[in-house]
Amino acid sequence: MGGMLFQSRCAGCGRSGGVLCRTCRFALAAPPALPTTSDVVAAVPFVGRARDVLLGFKYGNRRQLAHHLAGLVVNRLLAAGVGPADVDVVTWAPTSRRRRHERGFDQAELVARRVAAQLGLPCGRLLERDGRSGAQTGLDRAARLHGPIFRASPAVAGRRVLVVDDVVTTGSTLRSAGAALRRAGAAAVRRAAVATTPALAASSPSTRPRPRPTASRTVVQGPWAA
């Protein structure tokens, strides 16, 4: 009985080969100019090739992309002047239990753990999503603006926290996560995401364009906590 041959395809363009082809890697490494915002550091706009890749990651079980997406976030953080010396611990804005069960993983967690590893920082689950807070996907903008409800661990007290998400649309999820961390006593909260919608980026109070990076790279590796 012959075996089945499974052919890998690029998450960005569908071309046969690896999980992300060379062309798509460079497209993600040099995206359109994205305004810098003091609220959320986002690596790429959620359009075109980046959108295709993130949808493949989120809904197509392309977990291998997490390392590359984390590299984009790290490069963007460093370009914005945020480095390992500015953060004590990395965490993520957890998705709903239903979404995690459906996908088999939390996409924000995968990215956050790799961001932490690349920065040489500890990473831990410091936020819990209220069970009454459903997934944001599929909600209209008005409903999304309210955001989910989070509770933060007392372990954040006095620590500088970087909280990571995959895609920012209205910004309500990261705002809610940041508020929960501050209520629990976090000394400082920084928020980052792989991508943001063009509308949210355009609403930034700053219009300073982002530096155009070279291909994604992995920075210093170090021990980090599970």
pLDDT digits (tens, 9 = 90+) for 7-64: 578 888 888 878 889 888 888 887 665 655 558 899 999 988 899 999 989 888 888 8
**Token pair belonging to 96:** 């709903």
Q: How many CB atoms lie within 10 A of CB 101?
A: 9
Tens of pLDDT, residues 84-108: 999 999 999 998 888 888 888 999 9
At 100 the pLDDT is 83
Nearest to 218 by CA among 87, 62, 29: 29
Q: What is the CATH number of domain 33-202?
A: 3.40.50.2020
Residue 23: which region, alpha, beta or left (left: phi > 0; alpha: psi -120 to 50)?
Answer: alpha
Mean pLDDT, range 119-135, rounded to an integer: 84
At 211 the pLDDT is 39
At 186 the pLDDT is 98
CB 30 within 8 A of CB 198: no
Separation of alpha carbons 176 and 187, rounded Å: 16
**Token pair belonging to 33:** 């100019």
Mean pLDDT, range 135-143, rounded to an integer: 47
Q: Which amino acid is at 8?
A: S
Contacts 24+ apart (CB under 8 A), 47-50: 47/198, 49/12, 49/13, 49/24, 50/195
Separation of alpha carbons 92 and 75, rounded Å: 18
Q: Which amino acid is at 180?
A: A
Mean pLDDT, range 143-164, rounded to an integer: 87
At 132 the pLDDT is 62
CB 25 within 8 A of CB 216: yes
- The whole-model pTM stands at 0.78
pLDDT-based confidence at 203, cuts 50/70/90? low
CB 182 within 8 A of CB 14: no
**Token pair belonging to 29:** 């490494």
CA distances 79 to 34, 72, 109, 131, Å, are 12, 11, 23, 36
At 98 the pLDDT is 86
At 199 the pLDDT is 65
Tracing tokens 């963007």 back to the chain, one arrives at 76
At 9 the pLDDT is 84
Q: At 111, is the secondary structure helix, strand, or coil?
A: helix
